[in-house]
Structure 1
Amino acid sequence: MAPSPSLLVQATLFMIMFALGVGLPLDGFSRWQQHRALLLRALLGTCVLVPLAALLLLLWPPTLALSQPARFAISLMAVCPSAPLLLRKAGKTGGDRSLAALLQVAAALVAILTIPLLAILFTDTFGVAGWAIQPRHVASQVAGAQWLPLLLGLVLRRLAPGWASRLETPLDRIANLLLLLLVLGVLWKTAPMLVTYVGANLVALPVMAALVLISLALGYGLADRDPRQRVTLALVTSMRNPGLALLLAGTFAPGVPAVKLGILVYLLITVLLSGPFLRWQHRTQSQA
């Protein structure tokens, strides 16, 4: 019997966050003192400023034509920080892998406070009906999906660093495979609606693209002048957590499958737009 989509989402998130904890460099937390101001700016950007930018975009008169599922998808991606693939991507694209790990862990921890508060702000602002969102419920979802596996991974890294080093690559591959299966599973389930969704939500695509570009600019501007820090913070702010967004969509909007499709479209736009930025940064670092 095939696993239910909900179980696949939960398993994917658990493995992603567990692999993050296991793979966190041992000097990661010691860098808190070195980058305290930078860390606070990054958390402000990814956990507060990106969601507020999304809120302002969704209040902009031209975006009032957006469908409710598209608005939900943009909102969920905006409020869900700590991208699951950030650690590996930062290390391969001229960023600071250790700093990215520290920022991702911090964002995952702060999210348990910011997501419930932002959920209240978004639902109150737009008068959303039908979403029985309670802060304690959102907090429990975030804690179970991010905190628990993350802390288990950190404990393993701390108590058995040798085992953690050997397991880091296999766990990372398993997490990436599960995320790929999750994305493909959602696409398979929603494929018949893809053409209809895109046709009905053409105005949503530039809104998503605008939010991704704003997020990249925020991260770039909040960093110090170090090019590696700029790449890292740009990735931290722009790359959201689709696994967590899908989990919240399944919990609070189970009867609106188009929300999940919108989350995947947002993820695809993020990947497409971050490519030119990273190539530009790579050329800049090569010429320095």
Structure 2
Amino acid sequence: MIATITLFTIMFALGMGLQPQAFGAILERPVLFARVLVGSCVVVPLIALGLLLLPISAALSTPARLAIALMAICPSAPLTLRKAGKKGGDRELAAVLQVGAAVTAIVSIPVLADVYRAAFAVQSWDLGPQEVAQQVGLSQVLPLLLGLVLRQRWPQLAQQWQGPLDKLANALLVLLLAVVLVTTGPLLLPFVTANWIALGLMATLVALCLGLGYGLAGAARHERITVSLVTSMRNPGLALLFAGTYAPEMPAIKIAILVYVLVTVVLSIPLLQTLNRQPVQAKANS
């Protein structure tokens, strides 16, 4: 329930805070948006699938494997906007890409879930297309559209609510992660101790995703920062929602999702620091 409320609030705040003119950037750079969405929603999950099919991955525990798979197929990370805004990225570009990823996820998650099931011959985890599309639609797309409508119909009201709602959304996300950490805390140290291979694969996947985002972006520094964050940062709220719905008997999946988030944050720091040291002329080359 906390995951559902958190996702709904985050996407509602995103829709309400999104400036209409931001969508004009799609018309100006359609190729950029297309390749970033394909990269984040399709290429990243396929890279993760390739890593999970390596012989070394046979030693992974089931929760670790499922957590990596869930994080890989769940784009549109709630933390992207805040991190892009504070780390030299483009907040509006991140917002529009996040909207596109949230909508694309209605199709990409069910399809990729089928691909993963076929690759591992798994029958028990039946993330059916209709059920997944319904969950993604209700938790992400519906609140996003409601926020956009509110922004269009009552712009002054939306402007007044935007700041407090952003704070509420971030607080709920922190609460969600804290609740998961508290309820599964005793499993954290045993999980980390017993899953060094999983940590290595998570780190490898995050590094590849950061590199993918860097390559998909243009030459501008702020664009490279934004796209790298969009491709590498996955949606833990949605992953936790799926884990709670389809595998409530495996709490270690939630711990693995939290560990993945921490690995992503830690590995993104050196890249962001390096990009922010680049001279400003890199921005003019876009």
TM-score range, shorter chain: over 0.9
1:94 corresponding residue in structure 2: 88
Give the Cα separation in 2 of the matches to 1:100 and 1:223.
12
1:243 corresponding residue in structure 2: 237
Amino acid at match of 1:232: T
Give unmatched runs, 5+ long, in structure 2.
Answer: none
Residue 104 and residue 285 in structure 1: after superposition, are their counterparts in 2 closer, same or farther (change >3 A)? farther
| Residue 240 of structure 2 corresponds to residue 222 of structure 1 | no
For residues 58-84 of structure 1, give each alpha carbon's deviation from its aligned partner in whole angstroms, at most 9, with x where no partner exists: 011112111111000000000000010
| TM-score between both structures, scaled by the size of structure 2 | 0.96
More deviation in 8-17 or 191-200? 191-200
Give the Cα separation in 2 of the matches to 1:154 and 1:285.
36
1:148 corresponding residue in structure 2: 142
Q: Number of residue pairs matched? A: 282
1:82 corresponding residue in structure 2: 76
1:279 corresponding residue in structure 2: 273
More deviation in 122-131 or 242-251? 122-131
| Residue 144 of structure 2 corresponds to residue 174 of structure 1 | no
Amino acid at match of 2:25: R
For residues 5-34 of structure 1, give each alpha carbon's deviation from its aligned partner in whole angstroms, at most 9, with x where no partner exists: xx1111101101101101112311111111
Q: How does 1:1-288 map to 2 (within 5 A)?
A: 7-285=1-279
Name the SS of the counterpart of 2:88 in structure 1: coil
How far the C-alpha of 1:281 sits from its partner, in A, is: 0.8
How far the C-alpha of 1:286 sits from its partner, in A, is: 5.2
Name the SS of the counterpart of 1:179 in structure 2: helix
How far the C-alpha of 1:287 sits from its partner, in A, is: 7.7
For residues 94-127 of structure 1, give each alpha carbon's deviation from its aligned partner in whole angstroms, at most 9, with x where no partner exists: 1111111110000000000000000000011011
Amino acid at match of 1:240: R
More deviation in 158-167 or 263-272? 158-167
How far the C-alpha of 1:163 sits from its partner, in A, is: 1.3
Give the Cα separation in 2 of the matches to 1:255 and 1:117.
25
Residue 171 and residue 36 in structure 1: after superposition, are their counterparts in 2 closer, same or farther (change >3 A)? same
Residue identity (%):
55
How far the C-alpha of 1:266 sits from its partner, in A, is: 0.2
Please tell me whether the aligned partners of residues 17 and 158 of structure 2 are also in contact (alpha carbons under 8 angstroms). Answer: yes
Name the SS of the counterpart of 2:20 in structure 1: coil
How far the C-alpha of 1:129 sits from its partner, in A, is: 3.4
Amino acid at match of 1:201: N
Give the Cα separation in 2 of the matches to 1:80 and 1:90.
19
Give the Cα separation in 2 of the matches to 1:232 and 1:67.
33
Superposition RMSD in Å: 1.1
How far the C-alpha of 1:208 sits from its partner, in A, is: 0.2
Give unmatched runs, 5+ long, in structure 1.
Answer: 1-6
Please tell me whether the aligned partners of residues 221 and 276 of structure 2 are also in contact (alpha carbons under 8 angstroms). Answer: no
1:3 corresponding residue in structure 2: none
Give the Cα separation in 1 of the matches to 2:11 and 2:156.
19
Name the SS of the counterpart of 1:28 in structure 2: helix
Give the Cα separation in 2 of the matches to 1:278 and 1:163.
35
Name the SS of the counterpart of 1:173 in structure 2: helix
